[in-house]
Structure 1
Amino acid sequence: MTDLIIGDDGEESIALKAFTEKAYLDYSMYVILDRALPHLGDGLKPVQRRIVYAMSELGLANNAKFKKSARTVGDVIGKFHPHGDSAAYEAMVLMAQPFSYRYPLVDGQGNWGSPDNPKSFAAMRYTEARLAKYAEVLLAEAGQGTVEWLPNFDGTLDEPKVLPAQVPNVLLNGTTGIAVGMATDIPPHNLREVVNATVHLLENPKASVEELCEFIPGPDMPTDAEIITGKNDLLKIYQTGRGALRMRAIWGREDGDIVVTALPFQSSGEKILEQIANQMQAKKLPMVADLRDESDHENPTRLVIVPRTNRVDAEQVMNHLFATTDLERSYRVNLNVIGIDGKPKVKALNTMLSEWLVFRQDTVRRRLQYRLEKVEERLLRLAALMLVYLNVDEVIHIIRTEDHPKPVLMERFDLIEMQADYILDTRLRQLARLEEMKILEEQEALEKERDDLNKTLSSDRRLKTLVKKELLAAADKFGDDRRSPIVERAEAQALSEQDLLTSDPITVVLSDKGWIRSAKGHDIDPAALSYKSGDNFKFAARGKSNQPTVLIDSTGRSYSLASHTLPSARGQGEPVTGRLNPPSGATFEGLIMGEGSQKLIISSDAGYGFITTLDDMTSKNSKGKNLLNLPKGARVMPPVLVPEDDTALVAAITNEGRLLAFPVAELPQLARGKGNKIINIAGARVEERLEFVVAVTVLTSKQVLTLYSGKKKKSMKFAELNEYVGERGRRGLKLPRGSQKVDSIDVQ
């Protein structure tokens, strides 16, 4: 079955499905092979190759005068590349930008863009250009029989299929491109490193990627910023031809300020400052006071970040900025090129360099063969010239007397047609006596060159030696030191919202009816604040604005609020139930602030409790966390802070005037639950509210416990508690008469 249909009228037609498939496939192959992907041999896309070749045809060598870019672009699109002038000019600009190309191919004069805005270049009628010195590695051998020539788009001119690159340019300048169904992302590399790896592979054809990576540790971008991808990850990229790498800006401290001196490849300092400024405006960078761009001609990159105080951790600030701005960037790597077989493929490093060496050796062989043919042709001409010199009278006689001297000369002196033509074209002045010595000297030199060429062409070893010598010479002429240091760094982490908050002292106040607010500082009197009619002060907690406010309700559930979001104490606050969703009828029985590692005692008046931390009490859920399980009839006691003191004692007092003290270490640390028995109270008596715990506290050796019983008060020093010390869970001892009806306590 065929897709071609011939109608009754003889017209040919084709099924729409078959036509569209073929048309799209043809277009895809055109984009892949003739537009988007570089060739392994010279590392250039067609438009780049045509620009370089057109400039060489215009005589724009590195030592020539500059010419208007419009002239070059006109030749490119008029002779070789029938596309838009803006696309051709942008490709030319990219090859001239030292911040885009590791080894620029075009030497530009005028405005060719800046790192902040690579597309800010002037129009092509204003800029001038010529080829850069480095372009020699692509063009030096173009006229020496090394190039396959193809007709241009209209068949009026020939253009090179691939330029005879003397170094693996495909890795040196890198490239990016998007074709149909595939893409390429090759990062730039260092010329000396790539040449050394190529020479090693030339001498050791079975060298592994690991061996080659001893010479090429990683890409080398046209910037001084650090490559922070690990050695193993870079090795994997070169083994598979795919992966990603990261670059990070270089910074330091100067007079307390943070100064960024090098940005990642293709990062804009202007955009980075804008990103940081946006965070400052959104109050997400409270530790940064100011930004400045001090970049100039002497310091191309100098971004100054001014911390708010000298106590700001610069490492922490920069880690946050690395994670949230272009001060750190990732780059995709996809070593997809058109191979010497004309097919696109993702290649490992050793495969890529091995194929390039095949291309290079073939190029050198063709160059030598071309030169050998020229030498042999010249030797034939010199032999003919020598023959004329030795037989000048006879040659002149034949030329003067014969109507057709060429065949007579060929027959008389056993010449080929080319030699006969040369004799006939020879001027009489070349027959002077002094010419004989010149002819003999030139013959001797050419014969020696011919022998050397034949030896090299017949010996793979000599050919490889020549390739190696030329590679090293190119590296010596155009090579430079690595610009991008490779340093393994830990992954940058953005600061959490909590970390970004300022650490200001605040006092959080909760009223009887559950209205909450926050006052700046610790020196306010919460009870003296204004409250709504019928409402009063209940709890206050002192802490910092970046610490959570933790509450516990009458059902034993705990909740947490972001302290910095609480309303100001200048007003009367807002209902805490507007943010939290406690069980119906529940009241709040505790309010506390502190570091997440702060230990507390959570207890019920049934005599049970445990030690926990503020982190274990926090909950992002508005319904809170089930923290304390209450026995029947029991009520929640306010949380008690536990100091970092091994000698501290827990003291529990009941409404019957019993006091029990025991070491803090005897109480277990739990995340939630009922807890262990602190002081022994019968469960039935708790249910009927006949006996219950009045207070639980913790005392250190320097503190005094004060008991309030009506109008009476009794102070007990730490040493006086010794007589009440017993095992946890005991009944405790009765307090002295007059102090048994304890209403409240105080610890100072």
Structure 2
Amino acid sequence: MTETNTIDDDGIEGISLKQYAEKAYLDYSMYVILDRALPHIGDGLKPVQRRIIYAMSELGLKATAKFKKSARTVGDVIGKFHPHGDSAAYEAMVLMAQSFSYRYPLVDGQGNWGSPDDPKSFAAMRYTESRLTAYADVLLGELGQGTVDWVPNFDGTMEEPSLLPAQVPNVLLNGTTGIAVGMATDIPPHNLREVVTAAVTLLDAPKTTLAELCEIIQGPDYPTEAEIITSREDIAQIYATGRGGLRMRAVWDTEHGDIVVTALPHQASGSRVLEQIAQQMQAKKLPMVADLRDESDHENPTRLVIVPRSNRIDRDALMSHLFATTDLERTYRVNLNMIGIDGRPGVRSLDGILKQWLKFRRETVRRRLDYRLERVQRRLHILEGYLAAYLNIDEVIHIIRTEEHPKQALIARFELSDIQAEAILELKLRNLAKLEEMKIRGEQDELEKERDWLEKTLGSEARLKTLIKKELTAIAEKYGDDRRSPLASREEAQAFSELELMTADPITVVLSEKGWIRAAKGHDMDPASLSYKSGDSFKLAARGRSNQPAVIIDSTGRAYTLATHNLPSARGQGEPLTGRINPPSGAGFDGLMMGDSGQRCLLSSDAGYGFITTLGELQTKNRAGKAALTLPAGARVVSPAPIGEDAQWVAAVSNEGRLLLFPLADLPSLSRGKGNKIIAIPGPRARDREEFMIATAVLRENDGLTVWAGKRHLTLKRSELEHYHGERGRRGNKLPRGFQRVERMEVAS
């Protein structure tokens, strides 16, 4: 059902609230999009920026003029063209004056216009002075030459240009940011020489591909020397879609062992960066940094010094952490959204932007030439009249003195046009002497040559292209400069993990029979001598560093990972391990290991099966652990055996005193599973648990072995172990009498 408007008896029209709200919001949205937030592709300016520049040009504040108070300019802007707050207009003006914000500033400021550290620290407009920069002439130089349309200002008392006749693609050069209703824009700045070269290339070869343009414009060029570390492929994708993100990273070097940051990302604050680093130092999350200094001055606008605690600190890793956690690396959104020459907002690709701008430039130049041709033809027409008057000067003077209507008389006598007659009548007496035939004919010749050139140029697309190219190239030579933001390929920044930030102090982790865990400093303590709760006793211990996790194997073959730096002290009796992990109900703990993630170990069951794995394969963030060792029916976990770098042999012993040695290389490396047979256990004896593998050990070439049976022990030298060599999976040979019930064994170096 459609809603219709109604008119009451008093002639007042009534509309529904829905209609009114929709129209009001739509009108507001379009106003914000078209007249406030988005730049135009033609001159790359928002309305407030365009009005500031035009108002300054009207005040005569060219680059060669004297500075004037900024309040004068702001007053003209808001009084004549932009009826908004003075602070908003002044902030827009400040932005165009900051060389660290604008790649090619449009306003030349005198006084405090802010600093890279605090862009908002500029002085009030009554204190600062300003004028236009020389670069602003590329936007204003052709303004009075019929190049753009003029529209009434907000109160209709004067006119302002709808656009500025930009001679370069300023929308790409200085970029802009803005938030409208339902859309936003984030256009990064670019290098003038690169953009002009790309525009000229596209002018010569309209079928130039985006990939070819990306070879010329390799990326944005911010007003900072920090590196753009986004890959060339990602930048090309941004230019193709008009959307994406860029990353910038600070430039640093080392001096006398210190880290010196010499360039920050665009709009990053040095004091903010130092504050971020200091906060990490105070929170003891950056123990490898000893001191910070800000040595920035006039000669070195950015010089931040980071002093590592020692020469052993990995500076690359430290900076990678700081890149990931501070403003030393920043991400910038790219959204190439702008108002096109058709007056519609839209996100455009790089080649689409350049093609549209070239269309705008071609039309601007054509209008300029048409305007000049009209002026030349008008002047030639007047010069013909002057020449006729010069040749008959006495008669002309007589007609002017004696005729009541001299204009009509002159027109009738010398066949002049109204314009020619008017020009003759407006001549001053003192100029009559200047009407010399040679001068008139000389000016005629020059203007006729110019007229011919203008007509040829307007009549030839090739000549018009050549003219545009010459003008673009001349501007690039005059205002262009080298790229400031280098493009670099860098690895992804990685923040230190909590463990990496911990000091690597030696500790011993102790686990009791009842599953209580604690940690003692150092490696020289005896775990069995610690005090335990009534009915509890020592079971397992592992030695490592406080920044290494502990890996625990439960009686079901599941592996768990536990951070060790925050375990309770060994001075107490510890805490239940089940408060930190979630093992199956009734499970015990049969293995405890510490070391680097690459540390190898032998994981086995007392059924005689096992395999080689690494601590990294056993580690998990899951409190419920991960499946590691598959146990045959009735089998139990054997305490894991660490594998040293030079280990070559595996020793396995059963509770019946059978010992077998075989090469370590015969066992597979797995991440989990049952493994291969290590030592043979007869089936019936294994089912009844009369015989089972009691322990394993991994030996180097010259290591011996000590076996224990009760309080008795036997140490076998390397030569004595030859008797127990065999193939993997054999039963092994019996140990001497008295060691038929082996309880444990250990390597004897």
User: Taking structure 1 as the reference length, what is the TM-score of the superposition?
Assistant: 0.94
| Aligned mates of 2:266, 2:466 — CA distance in 1 | 36
CA contact (8 A) 2:90 2:125 kept: yes
Deviation of 1:631 (Å) = 4.8
Return structure 1 stretches of 4+ with deviation > 6 angstroms: none
Matches of 2:67 and 2:245, distance apart in 1: 39
Q: Which runs of 5+ in 1 are unaligned?
A: none
* CA deviation after TM superposition for structure 1 residue 633, in Å: 5.2
Partner of 1:735: 735
Corresponding pairs, count: 747
The worse-fitting range, judged by mean Cα deviation, of 294-303 and 304-313 is: 304-313
Q: Residues of 1 paired with 2:503 and 2:252: CA distance?
A: 24
Change (3 A) 1:402 1:313: same
**In 2, Cα distance between the equivalents of 1:277 and 1:43?**
40
Structure 1 residue aligned with 2:681: 681
In terms of mean alpha carbon deviation, does 428-437 or 345-354 score higher?
428-437
How do 1:152-551 residues align onto structure 2 when only pairs under 5 Å count? Answer: 152-432=153-433, 435-532=436-533, 535-551=536-552
- Cα deviation for residue 392 of structure 1 reads 2.2
Structure 1 SS opposite 2:639: coil
Q: What is the identity, as a one-letter code, of the residue corresponding to 1:740? A: Q
Match of 2:724 in 1: 724
Tell me which moved more, 674-683 or 593-602: 674-683
- Residues 699, 718 of structure 1: 8 Å contact kept: no
Task: Give the corresponding residue for 1:100.
Answer: 101
1:61 CA drift (Å)? 0.8
Give the C-alpha shift of residue 470 in structure 1: 1.0
Q: 1:365–1:693: structure 2 CA closer, same or farther, 3 Å change rule?
A: closer
Paired letter, 1:593 = M
C-alpha contact 2:704 2:721 (8 A) present in aligned 1: no
Structure 1, residues 371-408: CA drift from partner, whole Å, max 9, x if none? 22222332333333333332222122222222222211
* Secondary structure at the counterpart of residue 499 of structure 1: coil
User: Does the alignment pair 1:145 with 2:146?
Assistant: yes
Equivalent residue letter for 2:144:
G
- Report what 1:23 is aligned to: 24
Which moved further from structure 2: 200-209 or 577-586? 577-586
**How far 1:357 sits from its partner (Å)?**
1.7
Change (3 A) 1:310 1:378: same
Equivalent-residue separation in structure 2 for 1:674 and 1:241 (angstroms)? 55
CA 1:719–1:148 in structure 2 vs 1: closer, same or farther (change >3 Å)? same
Alignment of 1:551-590 (within 5 A): 551-590=552-591
| Contact preservation (8 Å) 1:700, 1:718 | no
Post-superposition offset of 1:600? 1.8
Displacement of 1:583: 4.1
Asked if structure 2 preserves the Cα contact closer than 8 Å seen for 1:606 and 1:683, the reply is: no
More displaced stretch, 50-59 vs 499-508:
499-508
Q: How does 1:76-95 map to 2 (within 5 A)?
A: 76-95=77-96
Residues 155 and 701 (structure 1), Cα distance of their counterparts in 2 relative to 1, 3 Å cut: same
Residue 428 (structure 1) shift: 2.5
Taking the aligned partners of 1:710 and 1:664, their CA distance within structure 2 comes to 28
1:529 Cα shift?
4.0
> Following the alignment from structure 1 to structure 2, what is the Cα–Cα distance between the partners of residues 550 and 497?
17
| Range that drifts further, 360-369 or 467-476 | 360-369
Structure 1's 656 and 76: CA in aligned 2 closer, same or farther, altered over 3 A? same
* Gap runs ≥5 in structure 2: none
Question: One-letter code of the match for 1:520?
Answer: K
| Paired residue type of 2:667 | L
Shift of 1:711: 5.1
| 3-state secondary structure, aligned to 2:265 | coil
Q: Secondary structure in 1 aligned to 2:409?
A: helix
Stretch moving more, 292-301 or 511-520: 511-520
Contact 2:103 2:190 in 1 (8 A): yes
Q: Verify the 8 A CA contact 2:3 2:16 in the aligned structure 1.
A: no
Q: How many Å apart are 1:480 and its aligned residue? A: 0.6
**Offset, 1:585:** 4.5
Deviates further, 91-100 or 260-269: 260-269
Q: What does the per-residue CA deviation read over 1:683-716, in whole Å, with 9 as the maximum and x for residues that have no partner?
A: 5435555334343222222212123345543221
1:703 aligns with 2:703: yes
SS of aligned partner of 1:304: strand
Deviations along 1:670-691, one digit per CA (max 9) or x if unpaired, are 4344444333333543555533
Give 1:713's aligned residue.
Answer: 713
**1:668 corresponds to which residue?**
668
8 Å contact kept, 1:3–1:18 = no
Amino acid at match of 1:65: K
Aligned counterpart, 1:653: 653
> Contact conserved, 2:323 with 2:329, CA < 8 A, in 1?
yes
SS in 1 for 2:671: coil
Take 1:348 and 1:634, find their aligned partners in 2: how far apart are those partners? Answer: 67
Moved more, 49-58 or 4-13: 4-13
CA distance in 2, matches of 1:276, 1:719: 60
150-159 vs 695-704, greater mean Cα deviation: 695-704
> Which residue matches 1:746?
746
Equivalent AA in structure 1 for residue 65 of structure 2: A
Q: Report the Cα distance in structure 1 between the residues aligned to 2:434 and 2:32, rounded to whole angstroms.
A: 63
Query: Which amino acid letter does the alignment assign opposite residue 664 of structure 1?
Result: L
Greater shift, 336-345 or 468-477, is seen at 336-345
Counterparts of 1:416 and 1:708, CA distance in 2: 130
Matched-pair identity in %: 70
What is the CA distance between 1:659 and its match in structure 2? Answer: 2.0
Deviation string 1:138-157 (CA, Å, 9 cap, x unpaired) is: 11111122221111000001
- Name the CA distance, whole Å, in 2 between partners of 1:57 and 1:433: 33
Which amino acid is 1:728 matched to? R
**Maintained 8 Å contact 1:197/1:216:** yes
